[in-house]
């Protein structure tokens, strides 16, 4: 079996036991994970996996179009399985929780910007920082 979501310039990579494990962790997570959390979960199942292997494979998955890499908050990098549909992120400054949201206002804003500037937007990334309901109460 080979991982190759984007046919073309990116060469397929063989599915190693480590890649299989890391992909399953990403699929099971159902949320954004940073590399250290992916490593923590992976090392519980395979104590021989290294943090360098996790970083290297997350990079491969991102290049293959399997996951998205998001730079959110205070220089933290999160990973999520690629999915259809635009969504944006709320990032808690206190605990680092990432909450996904969708808003028709963002689509309207993009349409207006494109029209007013005769510009074709190909990618939208928006995240808002603040405090989640738990941290706001502290």
Q: Report all structural domains of the chain as residue ranges with CATH numbers, in order of start.
A: 1-82 (1.10.10.10), 84-138 (3.30.1490.190)
Region class of 65: left (phi > 0), else alpha (psi between -120 and 50), else beta: left
Judge contact between 116 and 125, C-beta under 8 A. Answer: no
pLDDT at position 5 is 47
Q: Find how far residue 39's CA is from the centre of its chain.
A: 15
pLDDT at position 73 is 66
Q: What is the pLDDT along the chain (138 residues), one digit of tens a residue?
A: 444 444 434 456 778 899 999 999 999 998 889 999 999 999 999 999 999 999 999 999 999 888 988 887 666 788 888 776 778 888 888 888 888 888 889 889 999 999 999 999 988 888 888 999 999 887
pLDDT at position 105 is 92
Region class of 30: left (phi > 0), else alpha (psi between -120 and 50), else beta: left
Q: pTM of the predicted model, to two decimals? A: 0.67
Sequence-distant (6+) residues with CB within 8 A of 11 are 4
Q: Which helix (H) or strand (E) holds 59?
A: helix 51-63
pLDDT at position 68 is 86
Dist. CA 67–CA 112, nearest whole Å: 29
């Amino acid at each position: 079996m080979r991982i190759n979501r984007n046919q073309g310039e990116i060469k397929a990579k063989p599915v190693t036991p480590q890649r299989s494990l890391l992909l399953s962790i990403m699929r099971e997570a159902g949320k954004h994970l940073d590399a250290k959390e992916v490593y923590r979960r992976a090392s519980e199942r395979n104590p021989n996996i290294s943090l360098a292997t996790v970083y290297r494979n997350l990079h491969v998955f991102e290049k293959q179009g399997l996951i998205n890499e998001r730079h959110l908050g205070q220089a933290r990098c999160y990973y999520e399985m690629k999915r259809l549909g635009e969504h944006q992120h709320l990032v808690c400054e206190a605990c680092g929780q990432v909450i996904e949201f969708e808003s028709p206002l963002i689509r309207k804003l993009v349409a207006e910007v494109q029209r007013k500037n005769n510009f074709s937007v190909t990618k939208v990334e928006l995240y808002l920082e603040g405090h989640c309901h738990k941290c706001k109460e502290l």
